[in-house]
Structure 1
């Protein structure tokens, strides 16, 4: 019973963190557009978050080693809360770029510490269940945070205060837990040579998806605002995209367990590229067509990263999943940081639809590379694979990788056997 209470307390803390993060990310893009920030500044706000997130993933383990989990987590929660309140008190484009980097840093650190506690209470019997519930709840909480903007609006102080309350309440797991200090946090190790030798497609996928997802996550709200959507319309638009994207992970992931994963990646990447191209051509006004196209985009684009991780793992040596997946996270982070800045220049030249020129280009590139690699390297037999696991790419940390059942050699062998039997 005690273990169950601990797990649900940690789930609650993670959900509060993701709720505040979903609200803050959407809020800053739309409020920044309302304050007439330049497209470059809006893009750099997204870049700032990604840079801070990667920096936190690398350096927070060292901080935790010095001061302990509980103190480090408290620092993350307090600084994250102060940061979103400063977003309200200091409405300035350069200020928000700097503050967004602090938000990314604190978000990465707090998430890693929650995941470290989940790792402490998980074992080989329940690790897969805990990982699946954790991933699902995070996606749901982030979507609810985005939907909250439809109620709070963006013009006043209310959304900033609600986000701050959500962040500070996320400290509850460390206050409620009675377990000893968890095991040391995982540090991300980037071995590009090993990762590229293991799967060139996975490296290209991590970077191109970072470019596309970073662009979409930061600047799609600006596109919606430019097209005339209000705060409620933008939050619903993103909720549709997120819900359909989350619902696509399991069916396409299971399909990739049975066929060449690159074939699934090609189909999804082409669908995302075609949808982006249609958005450029049609440039729809607010209405059903816009919502349908955004929903199709999320449905196609969301599962690709998790499938790419699974594909890399199909060819990885035993016991190297964590190192491969952590390397992919850092490459993804580079793309997430560069994408919004590049897209802001394209949007300045071609208007708001320039956003989808960028996403279509990078999704099309991934489809072409995956097709080319299919001609060079044969598919891995299903008996040598592990099962697909959903993953929210832009919020994953090295501790998420450790929590993943595939990082445990014994569990990985069981998953291979299970996939082969299916």
Structure 2
């Protein structure tokens, strides 16, 4: 098989905390207010990256965003120097300060939707930065995300970049968390599955308790601007959204010609499977029945927020969080699945508890990009995880990250200085140049 599927994982940022900002994400709201350990979170993510790199997968690193976002706070009327802005926001609008300090950019499955070159009209890899307009703490990410992606995928002969869609509920876009690309080979033409929560104009089927963050209109717009030649649009079951399945990647994951999903994932699921089977020339489906794994257990364990990876020979490897092993029904199902002569050959378990407590599992932490050999060679080389880079990054985390952080710490001007010092060093380490606005201000290091 030519080409590859590369995983670009988000480094957990130094302000990782449990602010409970994400209504509809049960883990996020359930752990609000607890102290977090940013150092452990970053090291857990790096350990997963290294494990996959050691298995031979192409593994890249995406840097965190600058937080607290002082420029955002200034836009809401807090003036003075940086310390004054933080102090005033902490006193007058602590929830706003917490949201502007969120390390949520670590979950880069929401960074963008990516269409590989085999699927697009102009034969380039297309990136559309997600607007994430449903949640304030995420809606402030898209400009920095765009700068970062352009620095890494900078060769215009191979890569095309699109800005976020309009910040309007009609175009709510959550990126790759609601997008799955299926194909016979990574460098071949594929089928792009866009999963939406509701149709904004003219739609009547929608969840009743939690928001549907992705709209059909947004999915269609992304497919059009990418020039996707074969797109399938399917609505996520509104009942599972109300059960805490805020993104499709909490109830479904696919890779190559394999789709692994819960039976309750989609509206009109049989028609969806039939269409994918026809377009792919054969879909290998692993549908998990509710009698084996309930939706509640799927959400609790993040069974489907796993990474489904090519293990060679037509078999797949599933990367799951420790919570899958700790959920009896899920672990029993996985063991039974492994005993079958089906697509799944291997299950790997990793400790991602710091991320999981904020509602993000293995799949949330990575952006998948299918690349031809030539495209992979055109990616900025400094972000590929090598043994040397892994050692450098773990040392960097040890020098710059705190091992305990609560919301009360976010107003500390020393924390902002620590973050900027860390990011300045990181961009030099990765060779990315001055991608952050603070680096370009007078008095910045470069």
Give the TM-score normalised by the residue count of structure 2.
0.24
Higher percent of residues as helix? 1
Structure number with higher strand proportion: 2
Q: Structure 1-normalised TM-score?
A: 0.25
| Structure with more contact order per residue of length (Cα contacts < 8 Å, sep ≥ 6) | 1
